[in-house]
């Protein structure tokens, strides 16, 4: 079997698995949301029983649950994710309007996190078990230990209330994205730093690095061309998962900094019992994860000559 055929087969298998995963997620989330109670009651709040009945008919909630799911799935296949109860607009359009700011914020955060973790991870591995390594690991530990909302508030106090150099909330300007990106980078950085350090540490202790040194190659070439290339394989996988997490899961940060993105949109949907939005968010965020994991696997296959396409990790 040629490597090209093997790659094609692998991609098809992974795509098939991605569809199956998304279908399962949509099924489970749909029924879990239904179990949380009667949506019409929830929407009507203090209003009378007649209004609850009206809402139930209006949103098709009087249909059997299997029929509701079938209708939803049929529409979702054509890209119609329903109409938001709260915004009274198509969910897909609302989502599309909010995606760019979340994308930008996530990209800023992941680039910042990589910019911090990559050099620090390499530095830590090069100074393994020495003071520099310990200090870098302490830094990673504090990033990991600090809840996101806590670091958000600390940044607000420092940059916005004290130094007054950044706006407290709002993502309309680049300045408004700096604090949220910093917070998310701080949250994402520890895992990336640790994986870089571990990968580099293993690579530096490997036979091929010893051979390279014996051949008299320059140390910088050994580190960047040989050790780092191998250390990057697990890093890509973790970075992809972290990026997926940022795309769909920066609910707390977007809410604290009033960024009108996907995370805040989901929080608002949950608060307002906006069922079509919650359901669509689960589906789209899952799709992000699945696609990013797929992309990471393919990228790893491309980078790592040892990667066996027939037996992906």
Partner 1 sequence: MKIFRALSFALALGVAAPALGLAPAIASPADDTLTAAFGFQLPTLDSYYAGGREGYLLGLLAFDALVYRNPNTLEFEPLLATDWRQIDPLTLELDLRQGVKFHNGDDFTAEDVAYTIAFAADPENKIFSPEKVVWIDSVEVLDPYKIRIKAKQVSPMALNYLIQIPILPARYHAAVGKDEFGQKPIGTGPYLVARGGGNTVTFTANKDYFDGGAKSVPAIGTLVYKTVPDVTTQVAELMAGSVDWAYYIPNDLADQLRLNPDLAVTNAETFRVGFITMNVGNNPSPDSPLLDKRVRQALNHAIDRAAIAKALYGDSATVINAPCSPFQFGCLTDLPGYEYDPAKARALLAEAGFADGFTIDVYGYRSRPVADAILGYLRDVGITGNLNWQQYPAVVKARRDGEASLVIDDFGSSGIADAGYILSYFFAGTSDDLVHDDEVTALVEAGNTSIDADVRLEAYGDAERRISDEAYWVPLFTMPINYVAKGSLDIPIPRDENVEFWRAAWK
Binding site for partner 1 (CB under 8 A): 36-39, 41-42, 45-51, 54, 58, 84, 86-89, 147, 149-150, 153-154, 156-158, 160-162, 164, 167-172, 255-258, 260, 264, 267-268, 271-273
- The nearest distance, CB 294 to partner 1, in angstroms, is 32
The answer to whether 33 and 279 are in contact (CB under 8 A) is: yes
For partner 1, the closer CB: 101 or 283: 101
The answer to whether 91 and 277 are in contact (CB under 8 A) is: yes
For partner 1, the closer CB: 106 or 268: 268
3-state class of 270 per DSSP?
Answer: helix
- Hunting for tokens 């569809």 — which residue is that? 19
For partner 1, the closer CB: 98 or 226: 98
Q: Which two tokens stand for residue 87?
A: 């915004």
- Hunting for tokens 């830590």 — which residue is that? 124
For partner 1, the closer CB: 10 or 155: 155
Q: Which two tokens stand for residue 22?
A: 């998304």
3-state class of 38 per DSSP?
Answer: coil
- The nearest distance, CB 17 to partner 1, in angstroms, is 33
For partner 1, the closer CB: 36 or 71: 36
For partner 1, the closer CB: 158 or 208: 158
- The nearest distance, CB 152 to partner 1, in angstroms, is 8
Q: CA 79, CA 92: separation in Å to the nearest integer?
A: 7
The answer to whether 10 and 309 are in contact (CB under 8 A) is: yes
- The nearest distance, CB 120 to partner 1, in angstroms, is 25
- The nearest distance, CB 150 to partner 1, in angstroms, is 5
- The nearest distance, CB 217 to partner 1, in angstroms, is 49
- The nearest distance, CB 272 to partner 1, in angstroms, is 7
The answer to whether 124 and 197 are in contact (CB under 8 A) is: yes
Q: What are phi and psi of 83, to 5 degrees?
A: -115, 135
**DSSP 8-state class, residue 159:** I
Within the chain, residue ranges assigned H as helices are: 3-35, 39-44, 49-58, 65-77, 91-126, 131-145, 148-155, 174-204, 207-214, 219-221, 228-249, 251-256, 262-271, 275-303
For partner 1, the closer CB: 2 or 162: 162
For partner 1, the closer CB: 10 or 257: 257
- The nearest distance, CB 311 to partner 1, in angstroms, is 43
The answer to whether 291 and 61 are in contact (CB under 8 A) is: no
- Hunting for tokens 């809840």 — which residue is that? 147
């Amino acid at each position: 079997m040629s490597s090209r055929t093997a790659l094609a087969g692998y991609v098809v298998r992974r795509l098939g698995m991605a569809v199956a995963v998304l279908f399962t997620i949509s099924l489970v989330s749909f029924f879990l949301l239904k179990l949380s109670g009667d949506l019409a009651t929830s929407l009507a709040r203090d209003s009378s029983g007649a209004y609850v009945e009206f809402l139930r008919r209006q949103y098709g909630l009087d249909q059997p649950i299997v029929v509701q799911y079938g209708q939803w799935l049929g529409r979702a296949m054509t890209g119609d994710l329903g109409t938001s109860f709260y915004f009274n607009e198509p969910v897909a359009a609302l989502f599309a309007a909010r995606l760019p700011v979340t994308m930008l914020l996530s990209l800023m955060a992941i680039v910042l996190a990589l910019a911090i973790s990559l050099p620090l991870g390499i530095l830590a591995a090069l100074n393994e078990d020495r003071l520099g390594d310990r200090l870098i690991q302490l830094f990673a530990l504090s990033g990991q230990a600090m809840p996101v909302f806590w670091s958000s508030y600390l940044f607000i106090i420092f940059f916005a209330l004290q130094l007054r150099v950044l706006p407290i909330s709002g993502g309309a300007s680049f300045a408004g994205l700096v604090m949220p990106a910093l917070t998310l980078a701080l949250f994402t950085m520890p895992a990336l730093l640790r994986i870089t350090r571990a990968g580099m540490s293993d690579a530096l202790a490997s036979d091929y690095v010893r051979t390279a040194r014996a051949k008299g190659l320059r140390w910088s070439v050994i580190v960047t061309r040989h050790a780092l290339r191998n250390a990057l394989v697990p890093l890509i996988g973790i970075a992809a998962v972290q990026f997926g997490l940022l795309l769909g899961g920066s609910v707390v940060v977007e809410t604290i900094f009033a960024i009108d993105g996907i995370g805040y949109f989901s929080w608002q949907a949950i608060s307002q019992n906006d069922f079509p939005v919650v359901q669509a968010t689960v589906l789209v965020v899952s799709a992000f994860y699945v696609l990013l994991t797929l992309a990471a696997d393919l990228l790893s296959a491309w980078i790592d000559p040892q990667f066996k396409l027939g037996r992906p990790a």
